[in-house]
């Protein structure tokens, strides 16, 4: 005689509004009551939201172009940051830095000051959210300790939520990484000293132009370059550069050449080759004049000529995306 099967009863499902299902371990039962593991239920959408790439993570912040430059182009630079709600009483200052010793994501100095590193690997697709998470934890970290990156949630605050978007953003470019040192005496651990030596030996001399926004001159053994992060919509900017190039107006003077561009964090970065004898100061006037020519080209709406289309094709074929 067959055994009677015990009637199955469904567990009552907790009622959660969208976005309110608590985060639990990937292999634990989903809190929504579905009976499935979290990773196969609501955890799947949460993981996708966290890993989805944010194309312009610094959009809405003052100095978006400089944020991109400091993330991708500049070896050593710092910028004072201002929080919307002000600093805690035991944090005398908050500074953004391109790189920190041993590639720490953040550092709480012995005196309580906080340094936030920009050039680090991040665990999700939203660089702004990852940096904001590190920043929040650094503000309460014990003095004298580094802060590691951790995976955060898709609804965690971003830099745009924490920083004062009315405050100026003016990078100070350094010739080396001595800003890592907490005092003039230069006291540091052997590990920091070794990291400082490695960083200084690898850094290319870089200067931010004063007369235009987010343009950075750098020196290499073969030739010098100007790399200029621009805020204009990509298609319009490429059209404008093509018009100038076809008209012979895309250079920055004798011996210079617009060689192409790359894309970084949703913005286009044109690159010029410069003679080895052309320093940052010599770029100032040509760059200011180029801004005027570019402005006119950006306003032009007539279709590209055949020669301009060829120039544009040359730019796009050589374009590289860094993120």
Each residue's pLDDT tens digit, 24-58? 555 667 777 777 765 567 555 545 545 688 999 99
277-307: per-residue pLDDT in tens? 999 999 999 999 999 999 999 999 999 999 9
Of 45-49, 100-104, 158-162, least confident by mean pLDDT is: 45-49
The token pair that represents 124 in the structure block:
């999700």
190-241: per-residue pLDDT in tens? 877 888 888 888 889 999 999 999 999 999 888 999 999 999 999 999 999 9
Q: What angle do CA 21, 27, 32 make, to 5 degrees?
A: 25
> To 10 degrees, the CA torsion angle through 125, 137, 161, 156?
50
The candidate with the shortest Cα–Cα distance to 274, out of 209, 217, 213, 320, is 217
Of 171-185, 224-238, 260-274, least confident by mean pLDDT is: 171-185
Write down the pLDDT at residue 181: 82
DSSP strand pairing (215-219 vs 206-208): antiparallel
pLDDT at 3 over 50: no
> Rounded distance, CA 34 to CA 10, Å?
10
133-155: per-residue pLDDT in tens? 999 999 999 999 999 999 888 89
pLDDT at 8 over 80: no
DSSP codes of every residue in 71-102: HHT-SSEEEE--BTT---TT---EEEES--GG
Q: Which residue has the higher pLDDT, 179 or 139?
A: 139
Query: How many CA atoms, within 13 angstroms, populate the side-chain half-sphere of residue 119?
Result: 20
Global pTM value: 0.82
C-alpha to C-alpha distances, 207 to 60, 218, 246, 262, nearest whole angstrom: 25, 6, 29, 19
């Amino acid at each position: 005689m067959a055994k009677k099967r015990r009637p199955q009863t469904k567990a009552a499902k907790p009622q959660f509004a969208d976005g309110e299902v608590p985060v639990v371990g990937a292999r634990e039962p989903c809190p929504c009551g579905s009976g499935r593991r979290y990773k196969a239920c609501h955890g799947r959408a949460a993981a996708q939201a966290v890993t989805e790439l944010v194309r312009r993570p610094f959009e809405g912040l003052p100095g978006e172009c400089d944020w991109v430059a400091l993330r991708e182009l500049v070896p050593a630079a710092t910028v004072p940051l201002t929080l919307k709600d002000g600093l805690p009483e035991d944090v005398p200052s908050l500074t953004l830095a391109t790189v920190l010793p041993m590639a720490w994501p953040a550092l709480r100095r012995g005196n309580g000051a906080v340094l936030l590193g920009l050039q680090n690997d991040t665990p999700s697709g939203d660089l702004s959210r990852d940096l904001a998470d590190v920043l929040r934890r650094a503000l309460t970290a014990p003095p004298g300790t580094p802060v590691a990156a951790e995976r955060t949630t898709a609804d965690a605050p971003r830099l745009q939520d924490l920083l004062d978007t009315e405050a100026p953003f003016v990078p100070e470019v350094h010739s080396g990484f001595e800003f890592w040192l907490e005092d003039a005496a230069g006291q540091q651990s052997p590990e920091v000293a070794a990291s400082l030596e490695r960083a200084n030996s690898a850094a290319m001399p870089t200067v931010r132009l004063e007369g235009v926004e987010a343009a950075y001159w750098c020196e290499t053994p073969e030739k010098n370059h100007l790399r200029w992060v621009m805020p204009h919509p990509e298609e319009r900017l490429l059209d404008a550069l093509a018009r100038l190039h076809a008209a012979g107006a895309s250079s920055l003077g004798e011996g210079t050449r617009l060689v192409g561009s790359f894309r970084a964090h949703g913005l286009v970065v044109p690159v010029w080759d410069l003679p080895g004898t052309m320093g940052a100061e010599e770029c100032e006037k040509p760059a200011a004049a180029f801004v005027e020519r570019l402005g006119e080209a950006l306003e032009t709406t007539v279709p590209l000529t055949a020669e301009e289309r060829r120039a544009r094709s040359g730019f796009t074929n050589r374009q590289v995306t860094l993120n």
